[in-house]
């Protein structure tokens, strides 16, 4: 365990421990530059209709209702890069159980959580920072990261053994969310005018990658100075987020404003961040559905025309992640820096 912690550029400090210590001011390493801090305006509700889509309508006998639902998904993907779904097939009881299990994990004694302390080699396990830059500004959050697919990368011995049912519940949750991802990928393909299984095959078929990151945002004495997660867009295919059911915190960028949530560039990857709270802790789960690491990813040939040429060079997902890590890119800069000259 000691050698794992020493593999980071600086001693690892658990944010939850800082919060529980009763400090009145956060350490300087968590204070964000002024331009990254949440302003009072950012914290005010914005009259924005975040898309809410009822997936049950896709099973309707009414073809008009099915078409309308597909159109809503297409519009949300193009205009927002983000939408909320209801009647999605993942049981509410399972979602509640999974959230509860992870909250219990983060409230275990520190020495029990430290058994799963991670390293920057894979990030798998219990962590409190990303990146190995010494002196970097840090986010006000702890997390647990685990691999689910491909099966060759799944090692349930690295998943928490406590609480007792954690491994079983997390495995069941991941299986159900995988089914939802498959359904969405087929819908995205159809909306792009492609064969229903095009995107799933392009991602590697049975060899796609999937992982889970559970985020814990402790109470923060100065929430106006820091963020739970800095602004970024996710590099993979789909992110399925299960938010805290009591405390809001996720914000997505829309038209240069931050909205709080209570391909060939046809579908957007939304920039998002997380704000923190001085009175309440939060738990959220992000499930990442990603391409197979060594498969070449490029715009579908059916979507490329003289008027709309390919915007990005072919690249494997592993190469893309390495590019992001080496260049320290976040948010829009990830894809903007990769765009092919026209």
211: nearest Cα among 120, 146, 144:
146
Q: Tens of pLDDT along 157-197?
A: 999 999 999 999 999 999 999 999 999 999 999 999 999 99
Indicate the range of 175-189, 229-243, 283-297, 312-326 predicted with least confidence. 312-326
Distance of alpha carbon 81 from alpha carbon 108, whole angstroms: 36
Distance of alpha carbon 171 from alpha carbon 26, whole angstroms: 36
**Cα distances (angstroms) measured from residue 15 to each of 48, 191, 248, 256, 308:** 32, 42, 19, 30, 46
**Res. 92: pLDDT tops 90:** yes
- Count how many Cα atoms sit within 13 Å of the Cα of residue 74 in the half-sphere of its side chain: 12
Instruction: Between 285 and 132, name the one with better pLDDT.
Output: 285
Token couple for 203: 């991602």
Distance of alpha carbon 23 from alpha carbon 25, whole angstroms: 6
CA torsion through residues 122, 127, 133, 137, sign: positive
Going edge to edge, which strands form the sheet with 272-274? 229-232, 272-274, 250-254, 257-260
**Res. 48: pLDDT tops 70:** no
pLDDT band at 4; cut points 50, 70, 90: very low
The pLDDT > 70 percentage for the chain reads 86
**Res. 341: pLDDT tops 70:** no
**Res. 116: pLDDT tops 90:** yes
* Rounded average pLDDT over 40-63: 78
Indicate the range of 132-146, 186-200, 239-253, 263-277 predicted with least confidence. 263-277
Strand partners, 258: 253
pLDDT at 46: 52
pLDDT at 329: 47
Identify whether the C-beta of residue 206 lies closer than 8 Å to the C-beta of residue 285.
no
Number of C-beta neighbours around residue 284 at 10 A: 24
Indicate the range of 74-88, 237-251, 264-278, 321-335 predicted with least confidence. 321-335
Domain spans, the chain: 15-296
**Res. 335: pLDDT tops 70:** no
| Domain 15-296 grouped into CATH 2.60.120.330 | yes
pLDDT at 131: 82
**Res. 3: pLDDT tops 90:** no
- β-pairing verdict for 84-86 and 52-54: parallel
**Cα distances (angstroms) measured from residue 53 to each of 20, 61, 186:** 39, 17, 16
- Please give the DSSP secondary-structure letter assigned to residue 56: G
pTM of the model: 0.88
* Rounded average pLDDT over 70-90: 93
222: nearest Cα among 276, 258, 147:
276
């Amino acid at each position: 365990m000691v050698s794992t912690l020493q593999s980071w550029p600086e001693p690892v400090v658990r944010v939850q421990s800082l919060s529980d210590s009763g400090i009145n001011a956060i350490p300087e390493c968590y204070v964000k530059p002024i331009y990254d801090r949440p302003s009072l305006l950012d914290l005010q509700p914005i009259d924005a209709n975040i898309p809410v889509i009822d997936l049950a309508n896709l099973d309707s006998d009414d073809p008009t209702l099915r078409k309308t639902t597909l159109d809503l998904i297409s519009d949300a993907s193009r205009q927002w890069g983000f939408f909320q779904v209801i009647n999605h097939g993942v049981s509410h009881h399972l979602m509640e159980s999974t959230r509860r299990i992870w909250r219990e994990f983060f409230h275990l004694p520190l020495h029990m959580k430290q058994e799963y302390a991670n390293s920057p080699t894979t990030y798998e396990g219990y962590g409190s920072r990303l990146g190995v830059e010494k002196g970097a500004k840090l986010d006000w959050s702890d997390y647990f990261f685990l691999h689910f697919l491909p099966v060759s990368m799944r090692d349930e011995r690295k998943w928490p053994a406590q609480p007792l049912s954690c491994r079983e519940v997390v495995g069941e949750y991941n299986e159900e969310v995988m089914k939802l991802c498959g359904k969405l990928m087929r819908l995205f393909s159809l909306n792009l005018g492609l064969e229903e299984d095009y995107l799933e095959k392009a991602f590697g078929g049975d060899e796609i990658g999937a992982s889970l990151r559970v985020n814990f945002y402790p109470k923060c004495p100065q929430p106006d100075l820091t963020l739970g997660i800095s602004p970024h867009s996710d590099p993979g295919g789909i992110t399925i987020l299960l938010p805290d059911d009591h405390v809001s915190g996720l914000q997505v960028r829309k038209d240069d404003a931050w909205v709080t949530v209570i391909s060939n560039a046809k579908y957007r990857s939304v920039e998002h961040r997380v704000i923190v709270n001085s009175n309440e802790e939060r738990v959220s789960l992000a499930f990442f559905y990603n391409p197979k690491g060594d498969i070449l990813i490029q715009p579908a040939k059916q979507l490329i025309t003289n008027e709309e040429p390919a915007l990005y060079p072919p690249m494997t997902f592993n190469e893309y992640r390495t590019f992001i890590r080496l260049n320290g890119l976040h948010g829009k800069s990830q894809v903007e820096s990769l765009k092919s000259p026209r």
